[in-house]
Amino acid sequence: MASKQIDRLSIALSGVITGAIILLCAALFQTVQAEKAANKKPTKAPVPIEKIQAPPQQMSAIQLPPPPIIRPAPATPAIKPAAPPPKKTVAALKPAPKSTRQPRPKPIKTLKVVKPARSTPKIIKPIAKARPAAPKREPGKSRVVKTKVLHKAKPSRPSKQKQPVVASAQHKSTGRVLLRMLEHGKGPSIEIAWPQSADDRRRLYSALTRCYGMQAAVLHRSKALFSAGDPPGVSWKLNIDRFSGFLRSPQGANIVAESNLFRQIARRHNLNTWTPVRVFPRAVDAVLLGGLEQLVGNRYGSAKRIQAYYSLTASGLTLQSIQVDGRAINGSVELPFSSRRQCRV
């Protein structure tokens, strides 16, 4: 806006100056004409001055319009010079160089975020003592298992109890296979504890001998077995078809009647070093192991140690408080008396 006003002022001034110059030129022209007319000599026939002078109408042709009235321009605020553009904008206005191929940037490989491994403390397990390998047994040889009296408190039974497994003749086929494995040093170690009370132990001993066919024998260090019914010095050739090779060796508090019988057998055969053992009929052990395997289930094959307690009831013998590798098992195994009161399964 300010530049337009300045242009208008300059145009008006130039018009005024031009008009003044034209007026000066016209005035000079009239004076020159007047001087020429005065200097000329009069002719014989003088011409009237009125006719020689130019008519006044011609002067109107050179008159100019009056100059425009120049109004004072309004005061305009001082115009500050514009700040120079930043260098970045100037650089952006430069023409781009002609067809300059820049090398393509190499693709940046994405970095995989690797989570730091959790520092878990290493659990150092105690070194378990290696069990000596069981020696290979020849057919007809027996395996001696020590029967301990556990003085520890019985573990609390779980709230949910299983139905007791009643061992019967239907468990014989499975039990015979398990018994054969025990005789060859395979399968879990089985420990069956007797009652702690002396009276309960006497009743259990009487029931096992009269009703379940348990017999007393002594085992020499030469692995020969001796009984009370064999001639002196003659070992007992155990019939594997009738008797079990899964022998029990009593430990802990003894029973007077049984201890006296062990000493009589040792004196009869003149033995100095011997071990007392209990021999059961093969059918009894087969039924007992078959019922135990049914209660334990699939864990029986991988178990290393099975513990139980003998208990005598009015209906027969019972295995209760059963543990497999330290873990309690619900339920029990019952071995009832025979219906004919012969106390055999």
User: 306 and 292 in contact (C-beta within 8 Å)?
Assistant: yes
- Write down the residue that tokens 């573990």 correspond to: 155
The greatest distance separating any two alpha carbons of the chain, rounded to the nearest whole angstrom, comes to 215
Q: Could you tell me what percent of the chain has a pLDDT over 90?
A: 36
Q: What is the pLDDT at residue 52?
A: 45
Tens digit of pLDDT for each residue in 10-46?
787 888 788 888 888 877 877 777 777 666 555 555 5
pTM for the full predicted model:
0.54
- Residue 168 half-sphere exposure toward CB, CA atoms < 13 A: 5
Task: Calculate the CA 322 to chain-centre distance.
Answer: 35
Q: What is the pLDDT at residue 167?
A: 83
Q: What order do you get walking across the sheet with 225-226 strand by strand?
A: 143-147, 246-250, 274-279, 215-220, 225-226
Summarize the confidence of residues 116-135 as an average pLDDT: 46
Comparing CA positions, the residue from 252, 276, 250 lying closest to residue 263 is: 276
Tell me the residue type at 286: A
Higher pLDDT, 162 or 175: 175
**How many CB atoms sit inside 10 A of residue 237's CB?**
10
User: 280 and 244 in contact (C-beta within 8 Å)?
Assistant: yes
E strand intervals along 161-214: 165-166, 189-193
Q: How far apart are CA 173 and CA 286, in angstroms?
A: 8
Looking at 17-31, 234-248, 294-308, which range is the least confident one? 17-31
Q: What is the pLDDT at residue 114?
A: 53
Summarize the confidence of residues 228-248 as an average pLDDT: 92
Does the structure show a pLDDT above 70 at 189?
A: yes
- 4, β-bridge pairs: none
**How many CB atoms sit inside 10 A of residue 149's CB?**
15
Summarize the confidence of residues 121-134 as an average pLDDT: 44
Higher pLDDT, 41 or 295: 295
Looking at 102-111, 130-139, 205-214, 299-308, which range is the least confident one? 130-139
Q: What is the pLDDT at residue 314?
A: 84
Looking at 9-18, 36-45, 300-309, 317-326, which range is the least confident one? 36-45
Give me the torsion for CA of 176, 177, 183, 188, rounded to 10°.
-110
